[in-house]
Structure 1
């Protein structure tokens, strides 16, 4: 069966019926072609590798506007950028950390571009696990879907725990942590249950604006201090790049300084990648976004600049302000005290910033918990739509909320209590660490899926340049991502081979056999196959542009024009 592309009727519009003459006429299909087209639709429904009534069962609603999906990228910024960047600086030095963030930034961009092309072509529920199932192998969609889900639901208590610890900056009474944990859990779950509109328009949008303003303020303040504009009047420049130096050592190869510095540089690739984690969520929200093709394309077009400003300039600034051997970088408080930005402000004599930063980072952790819960519930919902998760999870309320998928994912938020219970801290940390590589596996799968998708589009005579979003540097971007992501996954736990520790080895690599078991287990049981280019389904359940895109309304006021540029 060959699924040839047509600009005719999406099956979602037919609602399970055969296309009528008026349907066909409205899409420019003449009566001489009507019989052939009806036969193609009937054959597509019968032989499609995708359940033909998936979109009919899909109950989510397109309620997110352009500004919401623009801010969704900022919503994924958690404590990794504000607090974790100090660990990257200490491990590899200022130049090593900068190079690692630049490389990981390009890899993140490659993944976003690959996902953007597929999402703008098919803005449907299930997103990249669904794409993997219908364009590569149903078993791959099953494996990456469950991989992303369990990696996401484990991240929810991580962010909640981070938010709780941040509160200790003002309240050091450890007995109150359980109360704070309970309140934050209930708040995160409630925001998601109230629905997608409230989730993004009132909560996530505000939190994202706070994070963006904080980052911009920190970069400006850091530049002023570096140039000698702080209370002390001391000009720093690139002093710390000269002493203690641009690279730190890993402490694994004492006899060779250059090799040891290289190992320290390699060591932070995965750590840097986690600071970028969650950006794939922009595609997950596409099925609930107004004019998803246009808005996703616009958002992805700005990802490059956000990576450059937020991450690359951010790590460059802290490398100029703080020495990698500063004792304060080794303090694992979990709150603003360990932020390299706070350390820099303290060194410069600015005392008001720590409280402001801690408050903003708290909203960042809380916001990231919101975003992660949203993403995990929608992936679980997409798995259920494809029959790869229990069918009851497809239930949606009248307002388009996949209630049971949200409730199941929400239950994992309460794992955050393990962090404040005696005897459970080690279990919690181990649970978190074994799934941290899951996001990199998801990114690798996205790029691989795009390469298959591109083969199918070319084989079926579809001009990818006519897609709403198209990157002229493909497929080289996807290949770049595949190369680096494969390396990140393999070298994640390389240090264990210098000083063997079985627990550390399992923590670093157990996610690989878990993913392989999901893939091959489903493949053997369901007897799936890898789709050939002419077998790929590029029609079923994919809404047409007319169905998803609203007329473009240009802004008429000054405020509207400014908002159009920003969002």
Structure 2
């Protein structure tokens, strides 16, 4: 534990700060309450979570900021912190960073709760929620679409609460990946790290291609390289700024997504009750037109039951691609201010908001557009770009509303750009965390003076070049390839999250008496994690099942659906058998070291709490 010894540079007790006797100063800190009390001859700071008492008896002349704090963090050195909460080491590091741009490997904790929530929402909500959602509705009907999305939210909840428990406990950079190294074996940690980095990186070109297809709604007489260059430059410029500025920008970009979703909800309600140019009170007419449809991917009728089941599967597969869990929140953990307080709230709030948006969107598209609509059928068969295949836009055109489709298209460009921006952030921080654990070259730990891992950002952005595939292929085809790769990688990541959690839980229970309490505790463990893992594991093999129909078989589709399974398995086996020569063993839960990282977090919390303490003294 952190041992704080506070010394005054003046020992004259007569000059001590004055307060009313027994006056309490209470600040909220992480998962506990710290109380600052003045008693006769005693000043104490008590952390209720760890039951540690810090002696403040010798504080004098605090109003004059004449305080030194020595922190012994267990490394054998004494670190001085002055009254403004900053240390001599930090000041020296800041001065050095002015002359050496890439001298340090420390990122900065500047993100607050609203940043975390909106960045997480931004990473999950993209064009799929507004455009691609029309395709599964066409295959399975509005009823199956709503049921499938609602059902998939259940395993996502199981995975999210499992992730929240371990990430809130140890909120470091790339937390669940670094916990994989601590709690499992290095081979699994290596595989999970590279899979997640690949998952984040491949979504950057996906969003770039999405922007290109959206622009095609208006015109296509330009090179696809133009949006690639423009977006890549913007992503780079945004990413090299301090994380606080990034958080503010992403906060406003994400706000547009939320406004778009809420605006479409309002549009649905107003038009269904007759607020449209035709004054047609259509209510749930379109939803009931074809709520459940039979779907035969290869065109061979195998019976009604098989047809309905495949219609449902088409919707469930889309849900497994569209709905993500808490991994995007976890990637922010290393740069969040007061993470053990903020993250538990963020996990719960983001899941609820995303669930409302996903299920609400499924309900709305079924209300405004029939699954058998002729325009929707033509848009799916012709792979119309951008908003042209969105059920909302088709509804607007059917009702004779001519301006809103362009407004929606502009909003979709913002949504796609924001999602790509979030993936750039997450992928660079993932690579940074991998480098800290030795799974990537150490050069990727280097940060500029704003605390941004600049080399990791540049390498992650190189994946944007994959979007150039659309120069030789239709944009819709490239999008389909990327969707298949992303879906598989995302499902594998869900399995890894649950496995890592089970090992983390084992280690925590063994060391429970010597560790702080969990800031967030999930329910019905370990069965919750096992349930989430089982669902994700099943979907890994189900999501590409259509490729095995004789009429639909081709090597290209098979590879895009299942290649990541073989790549990840290869990484695991090569690292374990060849690199480690079979010596890589699973960690002993009794010897796993959580305290080293917890000390750093506690120092951050102490700095923040001392700032509040000083504020009260100055008032």
Superposition TM-score tier, normalisation by shorter sequence? 0.7 to 0.9
**CA distances 1:275-301 after superposition (whole Å, capped 9, x unpaired):** 124751111011011111111111112
Taking a change above 3 Å as real, the CA distance of residues 464 and 261 of structure 1, as seen in their structure-2 partners, is farther
Q: Distance in 2 between matches of 1:505 and 1:83?
A: 25
* Range 150-159 or range 496-505, more displaced: 496-505
Aligned counterpart, 2:29: none
Greater share of strand: 2
Counterpart CA distance in 1 for 2:586 and 2:341 is 31
TM-superposed CA distance for 1:383, in Å, is 0.7
Aligned to 1:13: none
Other-structure match for 1:522:
575
Native 8 Å contact 1:79 1:365 kept in 2: yes
**What is the DSSP-based 3-state SS (H/G/I as helix, E as strand, rest coil) of the residue aligned with 1:83?**
coil
Give the structure with higher Rg (CA). Answer: 2
From 240, 255, 266, give the equivalent of 1:220.
266
Q: Which TM-score applies when normalising by structure 2?
A: 0.77
Shift of 1:342: 1.2
Partner of 1:132: 180
| 2: CA distance, partners of 1:228 / 1:480 | 44
**Other-structure match for 1:188:** 235
* 248-257 or 67-76, which deviates more: 248-257
Aligned length: 512
Number of the residue aligned with 2:374: 327
Structure 2 vs 1, CA of residues 548 and 329 (structure 1 numbering), >3 Å: closer, same or farther?
farther
1:121 aligns with 2:169: yes
Quote how far apart the aligned CAs of 1:428 are.
Answer: 8.0
Deviation (angstroms), 1:465: 9.9
**For 2:366 and 2:476, how far apart are their aligned partners in 1?**
32
Q: List runs of 5+ in structure 1 lacking aligned partners.
A: 1-7, 11-24, 31-37, 43-55, 555-567
Cα 1:215/1:241, change in 2 over 3 Å: closer
1:398-449, Cα deviation, whole Å (9 max, x unpaired): 2211011111111222332332356999678646633541111111111121
Match of 1:63, SS state, is coil
Matched, 1:147 2:195: yes
Moved more, 286-295 or 330-339: 330-339
Structure 1 residues 484 and 204: CA distance shift in structure 2, 3 A? same
Distance 2:347 2:513 in 1: 22
**Who is 1:243 aligned against?**
289
Instruction: Confirm or deny: 8 A CA contact 2:321 2:483 kept in the other structure.
Output: no
Matched, 1:536 2:592: yes
The DSSP-based 3-state class of the residue aligned with 2:222 is helix
Instruction: Map 1:281-292 onto structure 2 (within 5 A).
Output: 281-292=328-339
Equivalent positions of 1:100-119 (< 5 A) are 100-119=148-167
Given the superposition, is the C-alpha separation of residues 421 and 219 from structure 1 closer, same or farther in structure 2, using an over 3 Å criterion?
Answer: same
| Contact 1:117–1:470, Cα closer than 8 Å, also in 2 | yes
Shift of 1:343: 1.4
> Relative contact order (C-alpha < 8 Å, sep 6+): which is higher?
1
Flag the 1:464–1:225 CA change in 2: closer, same or farther, 3 A.
farther
SS in 1 for 2:598: coil
Once the two structures are TM-superposed, the CA of residue 206 in structure 1 deviates from its matched residue by: 0.9
1:407 paired to 2:455: no
- Structure in which a larger fraction of residues adopt helix: 1
Matches within 5 A, 1:45-444: 58-76=105-123, 77-170=125-218, 172-201=219-248, 203-251=249-297, 254-277=301-324, 279-330=326-377, 331=379, 332-421=383-472, 430=481, 433-444=484-495
For residues 41 and 184 of structure 1, the distance between their equivalents in structure 2, rounded to whole angstroms, comes to 44
User: Residue deviations 1:81-131, cap 9 Å, x none?
Assistant: 111111121121111111111122222222221111111110111222111
Work out the CA distance in 1 between the residues paired with 2:119 and 2:143: 30
1:553 Cα deviation after fit:
11
**Contact kept? 1:97, 1:265, Cα under 8 Å:** yes
Question: 8 Å contact 2:289–2:371 — kept in the other structure?
Answer: no
Task: Note the alpha carbon deviations across 1:9-34, whole angstroms, 9 max, x for none.
Answer: 39xxxxxxxxxxxxxx994599xxxx
Write the distance in 2 (CA, Å) between the matches of 1:490 and 1:437.
Answer: 9
> Is the CA contact (8 Å cut-off) linking 1:444 and 1:482 kept in structure 2?
yes
Q: 1:118 to 1:316 in 2, by over 3 A?
A: same
**SS of the residue 2:141 aligns to:** helix
Distance 2:109 2:243 in 1: 9
Farther off after superposition, 358-367 or 515-524: 515-524
Give secondary structure in 1 for the equivalent of 2:595.
Answer: coil
Q: Please give the secondary structure, in 1, of the residue aligned with 2:279.
A: coil
Inter-partner Cα distance in structure 2 for 1:477 and 1:150? 27
Q: Secondary structure at the match of 1:325?
A: coil
Contact 1:9 1:27 survives alignment (8 Å): no
1:464-486 alpha-carbon deviations (Å, 9 max, x no partner): 99311222343333222112101
The 2-side partners of 1:356 and 1:370 are apart by 21
Distance 1:314 1:446, change over 3 A: same
